[in-house]
Structure formats: structure tokens, C-alpha cells
Amino acid sequence: MDYHEIRYEVRNGVGWIRLNRPDKLNALTTRLAQETLDALASAREDEGIRCLVITGEGRGFSAGQDLTEFTAATGGDGGGGLDVAEHLRSGYNRMITSIVELPMPSIAAVNGVAAGAGLSLALACDVRIASDAARFLQAFVKIGLVPDSGGNWLLPRIVGFAKALEMSITGDLLDAQEALRIGLVHRVVPADEFETAVTEFAERMAGGPTLAIGATKALMSDALRLSLTETLEREAVTQADLAGSSDFAEGIGAFLDKREPDFTGH
């Protein structure tokens, strides 16, 4: 697929998806969603990619659904030709599950404002690194909608129920420091150091034991709905698998040799 509304590149084991409608703060169109899905599928299939970064071009991360496209499609009152539920299922819902189910670590590099479904894309990633220019809002309520794209599931798990509900029913804008304080992002970096800081962290993740990292993601998210007994058993089975991996042999060897490990993700 030719990409027009995203840029996708692979560098040093890291796949970079750059949302690329800077004049519209990377508001999400149907085309942008399909291109992002295509890039996510490529990343998933590519053994050379051991970390994925999603970021935005220009001064925005993403302002959520493109409201011009949405208004044209619905006639502005939901009565137009667009099947809104199907639009969510075929685009947003697939993007969110594709990100969450990635076998490698995912990083949202939030360079600027993240609103509505744009914020949901960031929430679906494992790690959120924000520029000090980033801002965050659950914009849906401002246009009379409920959070979608997993906003009702992801946000309370990240910042807790009370803060998630407050953000969702007020639509208030949070700056990067407030986002850090409530645990919405993991780290805030000055804008002029942002690209370097994200690259360093992403490449560090790409050099990690990818099998163990992917298995940790699956174990920990499943553990939120399983019992301790069930989780203990899953840990035992997973650990037995990983104990046969090359990365385990390399990790042990490096420890005994007093050197840095050279993990390959196998």
C-alpha cells in the first residue's frame, strides 16, 4: 500500500509510524486509519522489528477523528450515510487491538496535542513518552459523544477510575506535567531533546529479549482478569518455554562472562 497520510520507516530494529497530516494536527481520516492498520500488520510480520513507535508530524500527535470528514459523512447529525458503529469497528477498534496485541513493545511518542481517538492511540501503547509541548484531552464530551476506541477501558486502567471519569465528562485539557503527575505518561522530555530521547529508548527496547517482553505483556494484561492461581500456572508454563530460548542462554552467558548481553529476540 502507498502511504499518503502516514510515514512508515524501519531503523535499527524500530518501526516508526508517523501520522502525517500536520496542518490538521494529524486528525484521523478513514484513509489514515487504513494506512496505519497496514503499517501495523507489516510491523507485526517483520521479524526485524523489535519495537514500534507511533508519533505525529508537526505540532500535534493526533486531534482524533477528522470532524470535517465525519460531518460530511454523517450529514452533521448522524443521519447521513455513515454507519458510525461500523466505522468504529472497521477502523478504530482494529487499530486499538492491533496495537495492544503487538508482540513487541510499543511506544507512543506524544509530540503535541492528543485528543479523542488520538489519545486512545497513545493509551493503547505500552509506554507513553511526552514532549513538554504535549497536551491531552478526552474531547468526545465536547461534541456530545462518549469516549470510544477503548477510551473507557484503557484510561481507567492507566490513571484510575476517578481521574478517567473526570477527564471524560469534562473534556478538560491537561498539560504534560499534569499528565505525568497522574500517571498518564511515563516520562516528559523537553521538546528539543524529544526525538533523541525517544530514539534512544526505542532502540534500547529493540535490543531487549523480545520474546520475554512480548510474553510479559500478554501475561500481565491477562492477569488483570485472571485469578492469582491461574496466573501462577501461566507463569510456570511461559517460563518453561522461555528457558529454552536463545535469549535466555545469552542472558545467562553474559551474566557469567560479566559482559552485556546481545539479545536477538529468539
User: Would you tell me which residues interact with ligand T3D (CB under 6 A)?
Assistant: 24-25, 27, 63-68, 70, 84, 87-88, 113, 115-117, 139-140, 142-143, 145, 148
For ligand T3D, the closer CB: 126 or 148 = 148
Asked if residue 56 lies in contact with residue 13, where contact means CB atoms within 8 angstroms, the answer is no
Shortest distance, CB of residue 31 to ligand T3D, whole angstroms? 13
3-class DSSP state of 105: coil
H or E element, residue 39: helix 30-45
For ligand T3D, the closer CB: 140 or 194 = 140
In the numeric block, the cell 502516514 is attached to 6
**Sheet of 14-19, strands arranged across:** 6-11, 14-19, 51-56, 106-110, 127-131, 187-189
Shortest distance, CB of residue 118 to ligand T3D, whole angstroms? 6
Asked if residue 129 lies in contact with residue 109, where contact means CB atoms within 8 angstroms, the answer is yes
Shortest distance, CB of residue 56 to ligand T3D, whole angstroms? 11
Q: How far apart are CA 238 and CA 6, in angstroms?
A: 36
For ligand T3D, the closer CB: 28 or 104 = 28
For ligand T3D, the closer CB: 80 or 156 = 80
Q: How far apart are CA 167 and CA 159, in angstroms?
A: 10
Shortest distance, CB of residue 153 to ligand T3D, whole angstroms? 15
Q: What are the phi and psi torsion angles at 243 (to 5°)? A: -65, -15
For ligand T3D, the closer CB: 144 or 244 = 144
For ligand T3D, the closer CB: 57 or 66 = 66
For residue 10, is it left (φ>0), alpha (ψ between -120 and 50) or beta? beta
Burial 101-136 (b: 16+ CB within 10 A, else e): ebbbbbbbbbbbbbbbbbbbbbbbbbbbbbbebbbb
Q: How far apart are CA 104 and CA 202, in angstroms?
A: 11
Shortest distance, CB of residue 170 to ligand T3D, whole angstroms? 13
For ligand T3D, the closer CB: 150 or 207 = 150
Q: Which residues contact 184 (CB under 8 A, 6 or more apart)?
A: 128, 136, 158, 159, 174
Shortest distance, CB of residue 45 to ligand T3D, whole angstroms? 27
Shortest distance, CB of residue 52 to ligand T3D, whole angstroms? 21
